[in-house]
């Protein structure tokens, strides 16, 4: 049985949807990127970029090695992106789509951030252990 979930609010201040800072290294679902963090998009981006960005962005499914961390990005229903990040001593996941939790490639996750209560319900159904934190505006 999983523990009660904590709630994390998006950053407030200079406009809507400032994003969710995670583990001091990532910014999830921000409208405007942060040049100091690895930006994780909530939805799939374009499959071809014709210019270099001056910030780090993951907005397409795949496996990425950035700054010594392995970041796996999975596509869920509605073009929503889901992430599993190996932070050396723990593995965190950011989930928007409950069906992604059934993917064998997701593996063991110590800390789960989620945006949809259906994800929390699926975590409970699968009896997955680890911390849960809800991300909400």
Tell me the three state secondary structure of residue 64.
Answer: strand
Asked if residue 79 belongs to a domain, the reply is yes
Instruction: Give tens-digit pLDDT for 16-36.
Output: 468 999 999 999 999 999 999
Range of 83's domain? 6-136
Report DSSP letters for 7-44, one per residue.
Answer: EEEPPPSSSS---EEETTTEEES-SS--TTSEEE-SB-
Asked if residue 1 belongs to a domain, the reply is no
SS percent in the chain: helix, strand, coil, step 5: 15, 35, 50
Instruction: Give tens-digit pLDDT for 64-114.
Output: 999 999 999 999 999 999 999 999 889 999 999 999 999 999 989 999 999
**Assessment of whether the complete model's pTM goes beyond 0.85:** yes
Tell me the three state secondary structure of residue 51.
Answer: coil
Number of domains in the chain: 1
């Amino acid at each position: 049985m999983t523990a009660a979930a904590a709630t994390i609010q998006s950053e407030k201040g200079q406009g809507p949807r400032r994003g969710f800072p995670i583990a001091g290294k990532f910014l999830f679902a921000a409208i405007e990127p942060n040049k100091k963090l690895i930006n994780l998009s909530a939805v799939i981006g374009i499959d071809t970029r014709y210019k270099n960005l001056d910030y780090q962005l993951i907005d397409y499914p795949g496996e990425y090695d950035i700054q010594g961390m392995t970041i796996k990005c999975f596509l869920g229903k509605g073009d929503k992106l889901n992430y599993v990040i190996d932070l050396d001593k723990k593995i965190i996941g950011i989930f928007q789509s409950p069906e992604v939790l059934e993917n064998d490639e997701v593996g063991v996750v110590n800390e789960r951030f989620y945006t949809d209560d259906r994800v929390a319900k699926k975590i409970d159904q699968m009896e997955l252990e680890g911390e849960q934190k809800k991300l909400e505006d």
